[in-house]
Structure 1
Amino acid sequence: MWLANHGPAPSSVDLVRIESGQTPVMPLGNTRVPEGSPPFIAGELEVLWFEEGDGAALYRNGELLAVIPGWADLERGMPGYARDAAGESPFAWPLADALEGLAPRIAKARSYWEWRHGDGAWPSFQQFVMSHLDAKAGPAGRYWDVGGDRLPTVGITERPQEGYTLLSTVGMSCQRMPTVEQYIDRPDTFARIELAVATRGEAAEAARLFLWLARYPWTSVTWLGHGHTARWYRESASFPLGPGYQGVLMLDTVPGLPDLSGFGFSGDEVRWLWLVPVTEPELRLIAEQGHEAVPLTGRLP
């Protein structure tokens, strides 16, 4: 995305420059600073990421220069918003025209990261989730910290049940998933999730599902929701819930398993998605007919 010209603006788009792979120069009719601006200095710049991780705001010495929101898409002619842009062009749209909608999002992003990096933020959030699960699924067993130094921080809690073990992530819902608002009218009810699985097998083996999926929304810039599927990335023999399966179906309600709903964070509802193992033919059936086509009886591995 274009930010500024560093010399006089040309009268028209320099196609030769673009075709050679160089950064575009904004033509005269689409820049508020036709004479150009001095080159930016790295130490003067600050990037503020949106909570979802799919958009960012760029500041120079505290002044907002540009915003690339999650819905920016160069191929669709929506490159993002720049302070020095005038009128819509393939390189940038004017920031001033979008500030009414963007300003609250930017303020919320700054507030979120100030809280998230503050002392005690993660331990307090972790305790809120654990207390909720205490009430919904009984006392905790083992706990695994799988977060490392990357965000969102994620743990796995084990909750022994009668005849099986319930496992849940702890921490995914601390950060909104990317792109939800591009598909859902009410992102506040779908943007925060935790994952859960029930198993009669070895809990530590089943927990490998979370190592696979707990950060998937942010690393792949996507979201997970009710009715979604995920295909195991290796051969079926290595699938954590048994060699007969090739992936999972995600459901917010599974008959016979605890209702984990009722938790919220930052004004948003948190949904628990159960990971239900499915075979290769079932993955194809779901793709063709929807998740309702797959029976759920006998699905507790």
Structure 2
Amino acid sequence: MSFLKKIFSTKEAEKEPEVLLEEESPLCPIKAIVEQDERVVYFYLWGDEETNFGIKSCWVRNLTHAPDELETKLLNKGIPPLLPRQYCKFPEGQEKLKPGDLSIVWLEEGDGAALFLKDEILAIIPAWSGLEDFPGYARDCKGHGNFAWEITDSNELPERVEQAIACWYSWSSELNPFRLEQPRILEVYEDLLGKSDKYYAIDGNQWPPKGLYLRNGASKTVFATVGLSLIPMPSVEMYVDDRLEHNRIELGIILDSQLQESDLQNIAEWISGQACLPWDNITFFGEGHTINFQPLNSNKFNSVILTNQLELLPKIELGKYRNSHVNFLWMVPISQKERKDVIDNGSESLISKLDKIGTAIYSLDRDEVV
């Protein structure tokens, strides 16, 4: 069934809309769809049903005369609405679009996209589409229309689209971002944590490439991801003011060295799974967030808190990548009670308590702090 029919389903629809373009996000479980019927063209982003992304829609152009008022009766019947005249740069309507003239450019996070007509942006749906009645931006809209907003000169999204084009192009080069950044990241780790004893590829031979540093020392075992920071996390800008300070991460964990080879393998596989979560779930990791911890089957410590605020933890500085600060977050095992303390009182309360127990934070045999 077409997307127009899914959102505006009705027995009165005269003709099945034509799907002009359909494309999957390279990072997130999101599909871009462009549909056209006899009256109007719409651009959609559709998230997988297992996510909270939903369906985001943006008007692209009317193909016939714009109405003077909102088509409330037709909208209530499920018929795809035209944009009212006052919001149309071309109120008499425009010609139909041809599939071969259209293309999609995904934003670097993979949770937003721009629709191009040849070399010109027609519409943009960013991550925050759907919030507070905001649908998306369209070239042929003026003002804040019901189903699209105008792309004004002050809008930063066209520049972000251009940056995304450069980003995607860089991955087609032989010296792609991973080949350039992997040695630098590993050098930072080895200078601070010691020479690696093993290096895992944790991408399953799928793009984007990701690796895992392992230092299996006499008293401590250290894992640290390599390459997560090359892809900005989705959804960040919906929750923070400055996405460039929060949208790139690497992850690490330090444990007392009482681990068998099978334990090391289990942890590596677990970290590999966590490394995909922000994009698979269209979410992000940040300071104070908690996630499940299952690789060692601990009866007590079955979660981790993500932090770089504990005084004892090494401070890993990875600088910036593509103008974003790279945050290194340690994954510190915590109990169910301690996780509840984070939920009830915020992460600062637990971090303060963990700071007081020193090197015990590395042990799965420690006492709970709450």
The reply on whether 1:148 has 2:210 as its aligned counterpart is no
Unaligned runs of 5+ in 1: 233-237
> Contact conserved, 1:81 with 1:98, CA < 8 A, in 2?
no
Which residue in the other structure is 1:109 paired with?
164
The reply on whether 1:130 has 2:186 as its aligned counterpart is yes
Which residue in the other structure is 2:113 paired with?
56
Displacement after TM superposition at 1:22 (Å): 3.9
> Contact conserved, 2:83 with 2:146, CA < 8 A, in 1?
no
Which residue in the other structure is 1:118 paired with?
173
> Contact conserved, 1:152 with 1:215, CA < 8 A, in 2?
no
Please give the residue correspondences for 1:72-87 in structure 2 after superposition, counting only pairs within 5 Å.
72-73=129-130, 75-87=131-143
Q: Aligned partners of 2:239 and 2:199: how far apart in 1?
A: 34
Q: Aligned partners of 2:103 and 2:192: how far apart in 1?
A: 42
Which residue in the other structure is 1:235 paired with?
none
Could you say if the C-alpha distance between residues 173 and 38 of structure 1 is closer, same or farther in structure 2, counting changes exceeding 3 Å?
same
Could you say if the C-alpha distance between residues 20 and 248 of structure 1 is closer, same or farther in structure 2, counting changes exceeding 3 Å?
farther
Greater share of strand:
2
Unaligned runs of 5+ in 2: 1-57, 365-370
Q: Aligned partners of 2:276 and 2:286: how far apart in 1?
A: 14
Query: Could you report, residue by residue, the CA deviation over 1:202-249 in whole angstroms, capped at 9, with x for unpaired residues?
Result: 2222223323321222222222111111245xxxxx454623233211
The one-letter amino acid of 1:277's match is P
Residue from 75, 95, 108 that aligns with 1:38: 95
Aligned length: 294
Structure 1 vs Structure 2 CA RMSD: 2.2
Q: SS of 2:305's equivalent?
A: strand
Which residue in the other structure is 2:63 paired with?
6
Q: Aligned partners of 1:155 and 1:284: how far apart in 2?
A: 32
**What TM-score do you get using the length of structure 2 for normalisation?**
0.73
The reply on whether 1:89 has 2:145 as its aligned counterpart is yes
The reply on whether 1:279 has 2:352 as its aligned counterpart is no
- Identity among equivalent pairs (%): 29
Q: Aligned partners of 1:126 and 1:60: how far apart in 2?
A: 36
**What TM-score do you get using the length of structure 1 for normalisation?**
0.89
Q: Aligned partners of 1:262 and 1:149: how far apart in 2?
A: 25
> Contact conserved, 1:205 with 1:241, CA < 8 A, in 2?
no
The one-letter amino acid of 2:305's match is L
Displacement after TM superposition at 1:172 (Å): 0.7
The reply on whether 1:208 has 2:265 as its aligned counterpart is no
Displacement after TM superposition at 1:257 (Å): 3.4
> Contact conserved, 1:254 with 1:274, CA < 8 A, in 2?
no
